[in-house]
Structure 1
Amino acid sequence: MPGHHHTRSRRTTERKGDARERAILDTCEALLAQKGYEAMTVGDIAQGAGITRGALYFYFGSKQEVVTALVARTVEHLWERSRATAQADEPRQAIEAAMRRTVELWNEHGLVMRTAIDLSLTVPEIGELWSHTAVLFITAITAVLERAGIQPGTEPEQASAMASALCWMIERTFYHASQESREELQRASATCEHIWLTSAGLTT
C-alpha cells in the first residue's frame, strides 16, 4: 500500500487547485452535516458535486479516500493559521493568537474535525494525519512554554510533557464544546487559554 499512497499524494499535488476536486471535498463536508459519514455514499458525493460516479473515481477510490482528503485539507488550514505561533516573541500574545485561530477553524470546520477524531482509530491514513498535526502543535506549544520560562524536557513539570497534555486537553475540550454551540466553544476556549497561561506562569 505505500506505493499507492505515494501515487495518491503525487496526483493530489498535480491537481492542486482543481475546481472539480474542490467541489467533491466541499460536497463531502456538506454531506457530513446532512447525513453523517456512515449514511452518505459515493453516489451522494458525485451527485452533489455535479459529476458522475465514474468521474469521481478518477479522483478518489472510495468514500474513505474523499473524507481523508477533506481532513488533510482541513488540518493544513489549521496549521497554516497557527504556524506563526511558535515564532511569536511574546508568549501571552502567542497563546491568545493560537486559541483565537483554533476557535475560528472549529467554528468553520468543527464537523470535519470531529469526524477526523472519530475515524482516527479505524482509518489509518486519518489517524496518521491527526497524529502528525498533534506533533506539530505540541512542538509549537512547547516553544511557547519554553519562551515563558518553563524548563525544557519531558519530565511532568517540564515543557514538552506539559505541551502534550495541553494539546490533547484542548482537542478533547473543543470536540465536546463544538457539538453544543459557538458560545460554548468560546467559553471552552477561554478556559483552555486560562489553563495554558497558568501552566506558563503568565496569570499573575
Structure 2
Amino acid sequence: MPGHHSARGRRTTERKGDVRERAILDTCEALLTHKGYDAMTVGDIAQGAGITRGALYFYFGSKQEVVTALVARTVEHLWERSRVTAQTDEPRQAIAAAMQRTVELWNEHGPVLRTAIDLSLTVPEIGELWMHTADLFIAAITAVLEHAGIQAGAAPDQASAMARALCWMIERTFYHASQESREKLQEASATCEHIWLTSAGLIT
C-alpha cells in the first residue's frame, strides 16, 4: 500500500509540474507580445506564472531556456501543418490549406515566431529548431510542386530549389506583415499563395 500511495503522489507531482511549466510558457508568450524579448526578465515570467524565481529555475535555467522551450512548443504546430500539406495530393487544395493554416498560426503566435527568427542566428538550439522547421516546409512544398508536374531535382527550375526559395520568401513576408496587422498578414498570404500557384504552373 505505501508503494501505491507513493506512485499516486508522483503522478500528482508530475501533473502539477506540467501545469506550472505550461503557465511559465504561456506567461512568456504574453510577455513577448507586450514587452518583447529584451525587456522581459526572469522575474517577470515568474511573477506572471504565479511562482517564485527560485521555483522557475527548477524548470528552466534562464530566460533563454524558457523562450527556447516556447519556440519548440510552437513550431510543433508548424511541423504538423507541413506534414498535412505534404500528404495532400491535389496541389491547389494543398497550397490553399497550407497558407490558411500558416496564417492562423502567425495570428495566434506571431511574437513567438518572430522571436524565433530573431534569435535563430545567435541561439543554437533555436536555430536548429527553426532550420528543422524550414526543412520540413521545404520538403512539403517540394512534394506539392512535384504533384503539380514540376520536375524533381535541385536545378534552379526544379522542385526542390524552387521550394527552398518559396519557403524563405514566405517566412520573410509573414515576418514583416505580422508586425502590421491581421489584414496585412492575410494580404501577404494571398500574394505568397499566388506566387506558389504560379510557380507550380497552376495559373499563368
Question: TM-score, with normalisation over the residues of structure 2?
Answer: 0.91
Asked if the contact 2:42/2:62 (under 8 Å) is kept, the reply is: yes
Distance 2:100 2:21 in 1: 29
Distance 1:193 1:142 in 2: 15
Asked if the contact 1:82/1:101 (under 8 Å) is kept, the reply is: no
Distance change (3 Å), C-alpha of 1:201 and 1:15: farther
Distance 2:151 2:86 in 1: 16
Equivalent residue for 2:11? none
Structure 1: runs of 5 or more not aligned: 1-13
Task: Calculate percent identity across the aligned residue pairs.
Answer: 88
SS for the counterpart of 1:57 is helix
Structure 2: runs of 5 or more not aligned: 1-13
Query: Which residue type is aligned with residue 114 of structure 1?
Result: R
Equivalent residue for 2:168? 168
SS for the counterpart of 1:21 is helix
Per-residue Cα deviation, 1:86-133 (whole angstroms, up to 9, x for no partner): 011100100000000000000000010001101111111111100010
Distance change (3 Å), C-alpha of 1:69 and 1:16: farther
Shift of 1:82: 3.5
SS for the counterpart of 1:151 is coil
Asked if the contact 1:153/1:160 (under 8 Å) is kept, the reply is: yes
Distance 1:16 1:188 in 2: 41
How many pairs are equivalent? 191
Equivalent residue for 1:54? 54
Equivalent residue for 2:177? 177
Per-residue Cα deviation, 1:138-191 (whole angstroms, up to 9, x for no partner): 000000000100000000000000000000000000000000100000000000
Distance 1:100 1:54 in 2: 41
Question: Any runs of at least 4 consecutive aligned residues in structure 1 with deviations exceeding 6 A, and if so which?
Answer: 14-17
Shift of 1:16: 11
Distance 1:176 1:189 in 2: 12
Shift of 1:21: 0.5
Equivalent residue for 2:152? 152
Matched, 1:73 2:46: no
Equivalent residue for 2:37? 37
Shift of 1:58: 0.9
Equivalent residue for 1:133? 133
Question: TM-score, with normalisation over the residues of structure 1?
Answer: 0.91
SS for the counterpart of 1:18 is helix
**Bigger Rg, which one:** 2
Asked if the contact 2:82/2:136 (under 8 Å) is kept, the reply is: no
